[in-house]
Amino acid sequence: MPRQTEARPRYDRVTIALHWTTALLVVVLFALAEIWGFLPRGTPLRRNFQALHISLGILLAAVFVFRAVWRLSRGHRLPPATAGVQQLAATAAHWALYGLLLAQIVLGFLFRWAQGEPFLFFGLFSIPSPIAQDRPTAHQFGELHENIAWVIIVLAGLHAAAALLQHYVWRNGVLQRMLPAR
Ligand code: HEM
Ligand code: HEM
């Protein structure tokens, strides 16, 4: 196996921090929703989980916007780590993840606005709704939001499995590109 040297390309620190913050937020947001699904409706714990989901969702939206601006401006963009079909699959998965995350964030906001319930960021400020409360529409947004959540989790799982396969089996150093330098 070739030794990893500092000459290998690596994403910049901000891109790396944004990638792992996004990954963590997505997993926590999904886990919160799955856990509250087991809790009886209307209980304080379930409501707290939902409030935390919404606050972290707003945080994810801010991280996503910053990530997009950073990628389009100063963020390192590296040449593909693979070739042929693998390169195509990796690029498609990355763009699909960006697109799905954007769709999920927009739907999350629309969902809350249509629910007509408080839209608070850790109790610090509230986001006013530009649309009227509409329960049936909220229900539709909720179904889409839930389906997209599963697609994101499956795709991110495949993406992570591909990164680990390349790291442990093919040993091509792609995972190091997304890890901070020691
Ligand atoms: C919800 C979780 C995740 C999401 C949404 C996500 C999303 C992304 C996206 C959009 C990119 C493309 C970056 C760019 O070029 O602009 C990327 C790159 C990358 N991700 Fe993830 N990721 C997640 C989890 C993970 C995990 C768990 C691992 C490792 C086990 C991982 C490893 C990598 C690596 C190594 C790259 C760089 C690939 C390359 O240089 O070609 N990601 N990720
Ligand atoms: C990738 C990130 C996200 C994932 C994986 C995710 C996942 C989920 C899931 C699985 C549910 C349960 C759906 C249902 O039972 O109908 C849910 C509910 C919800 N999500 Fe998200 N979500 C994410 C991001 C967001 C964002 C950014 C917001 C907006 C701030 C948001 C707002 C909501 C709201 C308002 C609910 C309903 C809460 C309630 O019933 O009171 N989500 N989310």
User: What tens digit of pLDDT does each residue of 21-30 get?
Assistant: 999 999 999 9
161 Rama sector, left if φ>0, alpha if ψ -120 to 50, beta otherwise: alpha
pLDDT surpasses 70 at 115: yes
Instruction: Please give the average per-residue pLDDT across 72-88, as a whole number.
Output: 93
DSSP state of 39: S
As a whole number of angstroms, the distance between CA 116 and CA 10 comes to 44
* CB 58 near ligand 2, within 6 Å: yes
Digit-coded pLDDT (tens) for 143-170: 999 999 999 999 999 999 999 999 999 9
The Cα 33–Cα 53 span in angstroms is 7
Percent of the chain with pLDDT over 90: 92
- Across residues 90-110, what is the average pLDDT? 98
Residue 23 CB partners (closer than 8 Å, separation 6+):
156
Top mutation candidate among 91, 94, 151, 164 for ligand 1, by most atoms within 8 Å of CB: 94
Whether the Cβ atoms of residue 18 and residue 87 lie closer than 8 Å to each other: no
Report helix, strand or coil for 156.
helix
CA of 70 to the centre of ligand 2 (A): 25
Confidence of residue 182 (pLDDT cuts 50, 70, 90): confident
Q: How far apart are CA 110 and CA 115, in angstroms?
A: 8
Work out which ligand 1 atom sits closest to the CA atom of 94.
10
Nearest CA to ligand 2 atom 19: 108
* pLDDT tens column, 67-77: 999 999 999 99
Mean pLDDT confidence for 70-92: 94
In this prediction, residues 32-44 reach a mean pLDDT of 97
Maximum C-alpha span of the chain? 60
Q: How many CA atoms lie within 13 A of 128 on its CB side?
A: 1
| CA 9/CA 78 separation, integer angstroms | 7
Q: Nearest C-alpha to atom 22 of ligand 2 is from which residue?
A: 29
Task: Using the predicted structure, report yes or no on whether residue 134 has a pLDDT greater than 50.
Answer: yes
Task: Output the pLDDT for position 7.
Answer: 60
Whole-model pTM: value is 0.94
* Residue with CA at minimum distance from ligand 2 atom 10: 146
At 97 the pLDDT is 98
Q: Give me the mean pLDDT over the 33-45 stretch.
A: 97
C-alpha dist (Å) from residue 45 to 37, 41, 61, 156 = 11, 10, 24, 28
